[in-house]
Amino acid sequence: MERKTLAILLAINASMFVAELILGWIAQSTGLIADSLDMLADAAVYGLSLYAVGKGGLKQAKAARISGYLQILLGAGVLFEVLRRLLFGSEPESTLIVIVGGIALLANIICLALISKHKKGGVHMQASWIFSTNDVIANLGVILSGILVSLIGNRYPDLIIGTLISIIVVRGGLKILKDANETRKSAGGA
């Protein structure tokens, strides 16, 4: 059952990564680009978790650790993109941000519903639960940023949300690393 759930989650997140990255670039939205990279990280996590299904605690912890490091790396990449757009400018397209953010929110609610049955599973499944929960929060932030860009008429809400999403991504990565290390220690790993 875990394997089937993870395969569905992987497909949803990989598809949303491509869609959000392209549309985020078109919309000049750091929030959407940040969320697309979060979808990429999630797809990688689901792929690693798929690998870890049925394996021992040490292999699950290793898959979760790789996922945690990937999350942190992508979060740092988003911070770089926010800084680049802050320095060189951008013109975020609020309507596109809200629409794509809404579609991503729906996709992540579906993922959260699917993974909720497994959130008490191994550390690899707990990592998947953390990612899905963070994604719903990030999507709400992206939608809010699109609305604020429209109301205020400048790019700063998008830059702020992009920054906040990257912080959420990095925090999620750190939590996953902590959980993976605890699992590794309890499973007898070094």
pTM of the model: 0.78
pLDDT digits (tens, 9 = 90+) for 23-42: 999 998 888 888 888 888 78
pLDDT of residue 188 exceeding 70: no
Average pLDDT over residues 14-26: 93
Residues in CB range of 82: below 8 A, 6 or more apart: 30, 34, 159, 162, 163, 166
Q: How many whole angstroms from its chain centre is CA 49?
A: 15
- pLDDT at position 22 over 80: yes
Given a cut of 90, is residue 103 above it in pLDDT? yes
Instruction: Assign 1 a pLDDT band (cuts: 50, 70, 90).
Output: confident
What is the phi-psi region of residue 153: left when phi exceeds 0, alpha when psi lies from -120 to 50, beta otherwise?
Answer: left
**Nearest partner of 77 among 49, 48, 37, 46, judged by Cα:** 37
Q: For residues 94 and 149, is the Cβ–Cβ distance under 8 A?
A: yes
DSSP H helical segments within the chain, as ranges?
2-27, 30-52, 57-88, 94-115, 123-152, 156-186
